[in-house]
Amino acid sequence: MTRVLVTGATGFIGTTLCAQLAAAGYRVRAALRVSRPLPECVAESAVTGDLATVSDWRPALEDVELVVHAAALTHMVHAAPADARRYADINARGTGRLAQAAAAAGVRRFVYLSSIKVNGEESTRSYRPDDRPNPQDLYACSKLEGEEQLRAAAASGMQAVIVRPPLVYGPDVRANFLRLMRWVDRGWPLPFGAIHNRRSLVNVWNLSDLIVTLLTHPRSVDGVWLVSDGEDQSTPELMRRLGGALQRGVRLLPVPMGVLRICGALAGRRAEMTRLLGSLTVDMAATRALPWSAPVAMEEALARTAAWYRAKCR
């Protein structure tokens, strides 16, 4: 049975990913910061410590053929310059140390969960895998540096596979998506009726399915891969669909975009408003040509996420 090491195995994405890996017949080993109870889908664990400081990955990588690196210091809306070192220690240098150790241990393929924020914050056309990176904040810069560290470590022959997802949603989602769900659930009038943007999203089941596909695809899959549910939405469309999933009516007021941007800036929430008002879509042509298609439709994924929200967040 092929053994795969997963970092971030107990996180938002890692939990679903490990379940899908086990269902696909892999023996899952979780790399943990501290010892903790694990679900049945995780066959083994290795306590490695903090990604920012761990230097010896050899016990965790013993007899491992494949690695999925999903652990990271996640995006913070109000990250301060003082956070730059922490981002670099975990997302960049931590990734580099793991990638170097994996290459030395003979790992065949290394899948790194990066972010579409490496490409930028807004797009006038869909981002493509070969677009020049344009990271705009500390988190995105650290993820790009992590990609570069992986490529350098893989120069000796290990396949370096980079996945850049847009906003990921599903049970246990946090940040902007959870905030949207709360707004819709509370029935507040929302000032987004005049917005005509387009946003790509991916649910955690589709993202995990692509990672499983990339792990053992018969041809080399080195390079960058983009993923989405394949149903780009405007912010008002997404709110209406969330309302349907939550069985809530949605009242959208047609406030001009310029007014919303000014209000966001005055409230110190310029970046958050950009994500609600701007467009960011991904070009899935190369991913579909693997071939790969999203197994879970957005309607079903929103229904599953709404069921979690009703059970855990109300």
Other Cβ atoms less than 10 A from the Cβ of 1: the count is: 7
Q: Enter the tokens of residue 162.
A: 């980079």
Cβ pair 26, 1 in contact under 8 A: yes
Cβ pair 114, 64 in contact under 8 A: no
Burial status of residue 175 (CB atoms within 10 A of its CB: 0-12, 13-18, 19 or more): middle
Chain centroid to CA 207: how far?
Answer: 8
Superfamily of domain 3-168+203-228+282-296: NAD(P)-binding Rossmann-like Domain (3.40.50.720)
Rounded alpha-carbon distances, angstroms, from residue 235 to 31, 166, 238, 241: 37, 14, 5, 10
Q: What is the pLDDT of residue 79?
A: 61
> pTM for the whole thing?
0.95
CA 112 to CA 96: how far, in whole Å?
A: 11
Those residues whose C-beta lies under 8 Å from the C-beta of residue 2, and which sit 6 or more positions away, are 25, 26, 27, 65, 66, 216
Per-residue pLDDT tens digits of the chain, which is 314 residues long: 899 999 999 999 999 999 999 999 999 999 998 888 888 999 999 999 899 999 899 999 999 999 999 999 986 666 667 788 899 999 999 999 999 999 999 999 999 999 999 999 999 999 999 999 999 999 999 999 999 999 999 998 999 999 999 999 999 999 889 999 999 999 999 999 999 999 999 999 999 999 999 999 999 999 999 999 999 999 999 999 999 999 999 999 999 988 888 888 887 888 788 888 899 999 999 999 999 999 999 999 999 999 999 999 88
Q: What is the pLDDT of residue 172?
A: 95
DSSP state of 127: B
Domain ranges of the chain: 3-168+203-228+282-296
DSSP code string of 222-249:
-EEEE---S--B-HHHHHHHHHHHHT--
Q: Enter the tokens of residue 80.
A: 């301060």
Q: Enter the tokens of residue 285.
A: 């042509």
Helices assigned H by DSSP within the chain: 12-23, 58-61, 84-87, 95-104, 138-153, 175-186, 204-215, 235-246, 257-266, 270-277, 285-288, 298-312
Rounded alpha-carbon distances, angstroms, from residue 65 to 10, 148, 215: 21, 21, 10
Q: What is the pLDDT of residue 76?
A: 66
Q: What is the pLDDT of residue 103?
A: 97
Q: What is the pLDDT of residue 260?
A: 84
Q: What is the pLDDT of residue 75?
A: 66
Q: Which of 250, 246, 249, 266 is nearest to 258 (CA)?
A: 266
- Whether 139 is catalytic is yes
Those residues whose C-beta lies under 8 Å from the C-beta of residue 142, and which sit 6 or more positions away, are 73, 87, 88, 90, 91, 92
Cβ pair 227, 207 in contact under 8 A: yes
Those residues whose C-beta lies under 8 Å from the C-beta of residue 112, and which sit 6 or more positions away, are 69, 95, 99, 146, 147, 150, 160, 161, 162, 163
Cβ pair 203, 170 in contact under 8 A: yes
* Strand 44-47 to 159-164 pairing: unpaired
CA 309 to CA 307: how far, in whole Å?
A: 5
Q: What is the pLDDT of residue 77?
A: 61
Name the active-site residue from 26, 87, 139, 309: 139
